[in-house]
Structure 1
Amino acid sequence: MMQAQTVAPLKVQRTSVKQKIARGMILAGIGSIILVKIYLVVFVIDLITGIYGLITTSLVFVAFLFAFLKYQDPSFTGKFPPPEKPHFVSVIIPAKNDPVIIRKSVAAILNSTYPHTEIIFVNDGSTDDTGAVMDELHKENPEKVKVIHMVQNVGKRRAIREALLQGSPKGEIILLIDSDSVVKDDAIEKIVRVFDDPDVGAATGSAKVINVDQNILTKIQDTWYDGQFFVIKGMESCFNSVTCCSGSLSAYRKEAILPCLDAWCNDKFLGIEFRPGDDRHLTSYVLGGNKHYIDRKNKSWKVVYCAGALVYTEAPSTLKKFVNQQIRWKKSWVRVFLFNAPFFFKNRHVVSVLYYYTQMTLSLLAPIIAYRALVYLPLNGRVYDAMFYLFGLLFLGLMFGITYRLRNPDTGDRWLYRILMTPLSVFFSSLMYYSIFTVKNKSWLTR
């Protein structure tokens, strides 16, 4: 039996002077672009695309501003005393046909700096030897690993529900990890410290691409993930309102998710079962969905981002897989936005509210604006409008790329790949309406 271990105090991470100067230059750069866009809107470019670009750039500026100047990793703040008895963590890993990487995933958890854990596997109707591998891991670690076998594939939501009901998790903290993800050795220790705050209901970590060197596409995604986590989730975390706890690594207070378990598991949209977006949807219940939809007596919890809790996850390595992933994500985005819209504004900071609803509205308009700027206006002799539109996107990509370089100084010139996300983002914006019109189509689902 594993002996109890003492969790060492974490050292506070501080921003260097060089990083502070670089961050100031990034903010100044984005601020300058805003001023230029105001001039262009008034005197030069198309009014519609100009106003859209101005608002979009302003939102990005707000995100960078709060991420740089206000965000603090909640695992380092030390504002709340640790509990007398360490939080016990039940790690749930649903998997289908992932026999190789789950061994790495379990090894990382067992070798973690945080010893107070158990692992509950759910074999979600695998057709290969995934179930056998899980059974072997249980035999090797009978006191730490449990296995639940599903006769047929039921999807990630129901697999997690079975783990919570059949697996009898002992932990008051439920840690959800995708089967293709491997946590850093101190990730669990860091993310668990966040729950010393009794009002935190959920927390998410930072994801990096485990197969980053496979090809150009995986390098692009690694740089993109960094900005989506540190800048966007960092800003949201300043207001305790992170809107999506990533499936690669997220922790939930058990009492925060039990009220919605059946509703979340059996979610229907437009009259049919809806499986995509399990992580985003569960986050929304914790943020306020439990109170709005389940019972007014339920609590609306804080949801935060723990930048120091790192997880390495496998990213799509082909364009087809990447496109399929983006379609699934956009379908879930639409469904959860409609779910959040009636309550997100309640008892929340005005900056968070304005940012959320404005961002959602702009995302819905993005395909129309892209078509107007890149097709309609050039065909009518206004080529410069397309040039200004693309320049604005490239500049913002450059700012995210420089931020990646600051945060990952040992990655060489990989930060340049973030700029390549710009043409992809234009293409992916066009998938929004396709995702809406095919929301009932289940052929894109992986689980």
Structure 2
Amino acid sequence: MYLLDTTSTAAISIYALLSTAYKSMQVLYARPVDGPAVSAEPVETRPLPAVDVIVPSFNEDPGILSACLASIADQDYPGELRVYVVDDGSRNREAIVRAHDSYSRDPRFSFILLPENVGKRKAQVAAIGQSSGDLVLNVDSDSTIAFDVVSKLASKMRNPEVGAAMGQLTASNRGDTWLTKLIDMEYWLACNEERAAQARFGAVMCCCGPCAMYRRSALVSLLDQYETQLFRGKPSD
């Protein structure tokens, strides 16, 4: 027993030491640095990239989807903006019908109704296949975005060395319980430490799904792998 206790204590101590070292390095490398110049050409003379916003939806609450689309419609982005709302074979089409009724006269909005549920990835791919913008912004149907999100992300993407950018995530119910506060804290750490530190090495492992923008050329080159990705030998959707 004594040997087991000693081994357990040593393992926990080593884990704590490594975790502390990892977090310390993460904080250090998350500090902002001066990046490469976006382009020698003045920003004013370069055309703004066209942005396609893709919103996959499955059995979403009508009010929540409406709030999501309203936040996208209210973007201040001065360039071309198109929105593709994909209903992924919902059993109840009320949300998508209500959304269509609200935005059918808005030329920026297109609606895609899939005959059956195929999963988020394939729903996104269906919209990507119909879109043509320079940049693709994925937004979850239960998320709302600030009015300047597209402008800020597109500004970051003006740097040709950037293949993807993500927004700062905030839990809308963060004030409800201690658990939602912890979830919101995890969002903050993921955006402002983990991804920021990884970006210093040009190797961000993941852009959070609720609000992530990709350069189309980079996205299309990996689209087949994205759509058919497996986890433990099974489709990841």
TM-score, normalization by structure 2 = 0.87
Instruction: Check conservation: 1:71, 1:237, Cα contact below 8 A.
Output: no
Distance 1:46 1:270 in 2: 33
The answer to whether 1:244 aligns with 2:209 is: no
Q: Which string of whole-angstrom CA distances, capped at 9 and with x for unpartnered residues, describes residues 354-396 of structure 1?
A: xxxxxxxxxxxxxxxxxxxxxxxxxxxxxxxxxxxxxxxxxxx
Distance 2:20 2:232 in 1: 34
**How far is the alpha carbon of 1:78 from its aligned partner?**
6.1
Distance 1:216 1:236 in 2: 28
Which letter does structure 2 place at the counterpart of 1:122?
Answer: V
| Residue ranges of structure 1 left out of the alignment (5+ in a row) | 1-44, 276-447
Instruction: Check conservation: 1:138, 1:147, Cα contact below 8 A.
Output: no
Distance 1:66 1:268 in 2: 32
Which letter does structure 1 place at the counterpart of 2:182?
Answer: I
Distance 1:169 1:147 in 2: 12
Alignment of 1:37-186 (within 5 A): 46-68=9-31, 70-71=32-33, 79-80=38-39, 81-82=42-43, 84-98=46-60, 99-115=62-78, 116-128=80-92, 129-141=94-106, 143-165=107-129, 168-186=130-148
Distance 1:230 1:269 in 2: 28
Instruction: Check conservation: 1:113, 1:189, Cα contact below 8 A.
Output: yes
Q: Secondary structure at the match of 2:168?
A: strand
| Residue ranges of structure 2 left out of the alignment (5+ in a row) | 1-7
**Counterpart in the other structure of 1:39:** none
Alignment of 1:287-326 (within 5 A): none
Q: Which string of whole-angstrom CA distances, capped at 9 and with x for unpartnered residues, describes residues 401-436 of structure 1?
A: xxxxxxxxxxxxxxxxxxxxxxxxxxxxxxxxxxxx
Which letter does structure 2 place at the counterpart of 1:137?
Answer: S
Which letter does structure 1 place at the counterpart of 2:124?
Answer: I
**Counterpart in the other structure of 1:234:** 196
Distance 2:37 2:66 in 1: 34
Distance 1:71 1:126 in 2: 45
Distance 2:169 2:123 in 1: 22
Instruction: Check conservation: 1:125, 1:152, Cα contact below 8 A.
Output: yes
Residues 51 and 214 (structure 1), Cα distance of their counterparts in 2 relative to 1, 3 Å cut = closer
Residues 132 and 220 (structure 1), Cα distance of their counterparts in 2 relative to 1, 3 Å cut = same
Mean Cα deviation higher: 87-96 or 128-137: 128-137
Distance 2:216 2:82 in 1: 14
Instruction: Check conservation: 2:26, 2:194, Cα contact below 8 A.
Output: yes
Instruction: Check conservation: 1:91, 1:175, Cα contact below 8 A.
Output: yes
Distance 2:71 2:201 in 1: 31
Residues 131 and 241 (structure 1), Cα distance of their counterparts in 2 relative to 1, 3 Å cut = same
Q: Secondary structure at the match of 2:224?
A: helix
**How far is the alpha carbon of 1:65 from its aligned partner?**
1.2
Distance 1:269 1:222 in 2: 27
Distance 2:202 2:102 in 1: 37
1:206 aligned residue (149, 168, 185): 168
Instruction: Check conservation: 2:38, 2:160, Cα contact below 8 A.
Output: no
Which letter does structure 1 place at the counterpart of 2:117?
Answer: N
**How far is the alpha carbon of 1:111 from its aligned partner?**
1.4
Residues 256 and 79 (structure 1), Cα distance of their counterparts in 2 relative to 1, 3 Å cut = closer
**How far is the alpha carbon of 1:187 from its aligned partner?**
1.1
Which has a greater percent of helix?
Answer: 1
**Counterpart in the other structure of 1:314:** none
Rg bigger for which structure? 1
**How far is the alpha carbon of 1:216 from its aligned partner?**
2.7
Distance 1:256 1:111 in 2: 27
Which letter does structure 1 place at the counterpart of 2:229?
Answer: D
Distance 2:21 2:115 in 1: 51
Distance 1:138 1:212 in 2: 30
Q: Which string of whole-angstrom CA distances, capped at 9 and with x for unpartnered residues, describes residues 125-161 of structure 1?
A: 11221221232133141x1100000111110000011
**How far is the alpha carbon of 1:71 from its aligned partner?**
4.7
**How far is the alpha carbon of 1:106 from its aligned partner?**
1.6
Instruction: Check conservation: 1:209, 1:221, Cα contact below 8 A.
Output: yes
Distance 1:235 1:126 in 2: 39
The number of residues matched between the two structures is 224
Regions of 4+ moved over 6 Å: none
